[in-house]
Amino acid sequence: MASLEAAKNILRDLFAQFQWQGALASRLFYVGLWYAVYGVYRATGRTQDESQHAAQVWLGPRLGLSSRLVRVRLPGGVRAEFDLVTAAFAVKEFVVDGMYEAYPGFIPQPGQVVVDVGAHQGIFSMRAAARVGGTGRVVSIEPSPRNQDILERNIAVNGFAHATLVRAAANDAEGDVVLYQHPLGSAGNSIIVQEEGSVPVTVRGRTLDGILAELGISRVDLLKIDVEFAGLAVLQGAAAALARGPRIVMEVEGGAGPIDAVRRFLEDRGYRVRAARHILYADLSESQTAPQVR
């Protein structure tokens, strides 16, 4: 049964590649090779985590495939350049699996203001910018210099004048912080957790309230957060923003403890919190209303 389920997962990931355009052969090859390496290590008795790590190592540092840049076109016409691991796997999570879309009301709508904290190379930001249109606004906050440059190009190539890149790590205070860049790919960078082999780089730390005040933004309709163990720090630096009651969707790493801590933090501020695995969806409870912004 386990081998049958594994085969189904492989086929799903391969067939998913046909649901967006660009670099199809490269994406199919990458996914196939990833599972081939993973399967070899599983066959030798390695655990699932060990086998996934081995696949990351082989396709990343050893073969240099994960960091290769490719151009794709997402459903809705968004053009983008991503590294290959992002183009093959992360795009599937957003486009096919509907990551961050488990509950109604959390999909960006025309005219909305959307803030993407931990924007990476811009999958969520680009799709949000297309959806909110020119009457809306998107703020993309990303600390990794390499990801920033890719995201900046993606904003430009789509002509999204209503999208703004903020080169910073969202935190609970203003001031420089050390970003630990993941050694096996462009994702997984953290100001909290240092993976073995991580490359440290000093980046600017900003509070979300400080960023929004600097940009003159007094309203946020949707706040997306994916910051590798730093989600609570982001919320602690967003008191003014949270007081206005934006909907929040955030990935929380670390298991039940961090999830419960974030849930309590938001519920203490009047939010109703629901979970879809490790992703939390928060909006104001029926008894709460956002204060009027004048």
* Interval 137-146: pLDDT, tens: 999 999 999 9
Kindly state whether residues 24 and 70 are assigned to the same domain: yes
Q: Are 38 and 52 in contact (CB under 8 A)?
A: yes
* Interval 33-71: pLDDT, tens: 999 999 999 999 999 999 999 999 999 999 999 999 999
* Interval 225-278: pLDDT, tens: 999 999 999 999 999 999 999 999 999 999 999 999 999 999 999 999 999 989
Kindly state whether residues 127 and 147 are assigned to the same domain: yes
Kindly state whether residues 204 and 144 are assigned to the same domain: yes
Residue 181, domain extent: 98-284
Residue 221, domain CATH: 3.40.50.150
pLDDT band at 285 (very low <50, low <70, confident <90, very high): low
* Measured distance CA(176)–CA(168) in Å, rounded: 9
What count of residues does the chain have?
A: 294
253 domain residue, yes or no: yes
294 domain residue, yes or no: no
Question: What SS3 class is residue 110?
Answer: coil
pLDDT band at 1 (very low <50, low <70, confident <90, very high): low
Kindly state whether residues 272 and 126 are assigned to the same domain: yes
* Measured distance CA(112)–CA(176) in Å, rounded: 31
Dig out the tokens for 240 from the structure. Answer: 């003014």
User: What is the distance between the terminal CA atoms of the chain, rounded to a whole angstrom?
Assistant: 59
pLDDT band at 293 (very low <50, low <70, confident <90, very high): very low
Average confidence (pLDDT) over 163-176: 98
* Confidence at residue 286, expressed as pLDDT on a 0 to 100 scale: 60
* Confidence at residue 2, expressed as pLDDT on a 0 to 100 scale: 55
Kindly state whether residues 45 and 163 are assigned to the same domain: no
* Confidence at residue 7, expressed as pLDDT on a 0 to 100 scale: 84
Residues in a beta bridge with 21: 73
pTM comes to 0.94
Say how many CA atoms lie within 13 Å of 206 toward its Cβ. Answer: 20
* Confidence at residue 294, expressed as pLDDT on a 0 to 100 scale: 25
Q: Which of 97, 114, 134 is the last residue of a domain?
A: 97
Q: How many domains does the chain have?
A: 2
Q: What are phi and psi of 135, to 5 degrees?
A: -85, -10
Q: Which of 97, 124, 150 is the last residue of a domain?
A: 97
* Measured distance CA(138)–CA(284) in Å, rounded: 21
Q: Which of 55, 80, 97 is the last residue of a domain?
A: 97
**Single-letter amino acid code for the residue at 271:** Y
Kindly state whether residues 79 and 152 are assigned to the same domain: no
Whole-number percent of the chain with pLDDT over 70: 96
Average confidence (pLDDT) over 155-182: 98
Kindly state whether residues 58 and 201 are assigned to the same domain: no
Kindly state whether residues 69 and 158 are assigned to the same domain: no
Kindly state whether residues 137 and 276 are assigned to the same domain: yes
292 domain residue, yes or no: no
Kindly state whether residues 189 and 269 are assigned to the same domain: yes
DSSP letter for each residue of 139-163? EEEE--HHHHHHHHHHHHHTT-TTE
293 domain residue, yes or no: no
Kindly state whether residues 87 and 117 are assigned to the same domain: no
* Residue listed under structure tokens 């003159």: 216
pLDDT band at 198 (very low <50, low <70, confident <90, very high): very high
From 282, 143, 120, 290, select the one nearest 211 (Cα to Cα): 143
* Measured distance CA(189)–CA(142) in Å, rounded: 10
Kindly state whether residues 255 and 226 are assigned to the same domain: yes
* Confidence at residue 171, expressed as pLDDT on a 0 to 100 scale: 98
Dig out the tokens for 155 from the structure. Answer: 């904003």
